[in-house]
Every structure is written in C-alpha cells, then in structure tokens.
Amino acid sequence: MRTYFFEIVAKGSYSATGDEFGAIAEKIHKQTDDASPSVSNCVLRIAFDRRSGSFETAVRSAIADIALAGLEVERLEMCSDDITQTLVPAAEEV
C-alpha cells in the first residue's frame, strides 16, 4: 500500500467564512480522517492523502466519502507524481 495525494473539487459555490464552511468541514471529517477541506474564490477543494492498494481504489473511496458528506464531485485534480507513478507501469506493459 502507498499513499496517494489528490484533490477533489466539489460542485457549487462556497464561503470560506462563517458557519457554512465549518458545517461542511465537520461533515467531511465525520466520513474520513485523511481529508483537508479548503475554500478559495468560492471553490471547495478537499485534499486527500489516502493510503490504498491502487490509485483507482483511493479515488473511488474518496468520492464515496464526499458523497456521504452530502457533496457532489465536480472534478479530480492529481499530483503529477501520482499520475506518473500510476500510468508508467501500465505503459511499460504494452
């Protein structure tokens, strides 16, 4: 198992101040302990450092956690090292 680093961007517009962000962060932390939510320019990003047997499993489980927190995923953003390490072995097999 290894740790994968990536961010999920949630659908919608969010405020970084007040009760809204606190409530969202609490919902996320109830589902997982490896996520760090933040808001910038009304965009909610949830950074993950997820241990898993594969990148796909890490992402799928993070998406499930976000859904359980009541959020929808707009997109996934990946660390370039994880993209390289995930794709290179598959390319070498071809």
For the entire predicted model, the pTM comes to 0.80
Is it the case that residue 79 has pLDDT exceeding 90?
no
Q: What's the pLDDT tens digit per position in 23-68?
A: 999 999 999 999 999 999 999 999 999 999 998 999 999 999 999 9
Cα separation, 20 vs 18, in Å, equals 6
Rounded to whole angstroms, the Cα distance separating 91 from 94 reads 5
E strands, the chain, are 2-10, 35-40, 43-52, 73-78
Count of structural domains within the chain = 1
The CATH number covering residue 42 comes to: 3.30.70.3090
Print the domain residue range for 67. Answer: 2-93
* Whole-number Å distance between alpha carbons of 55 and 11: 22
Which residues are registered as beta bridge partners of 49? Answer: 5
CB atoms within 10 A of CB 87: 11
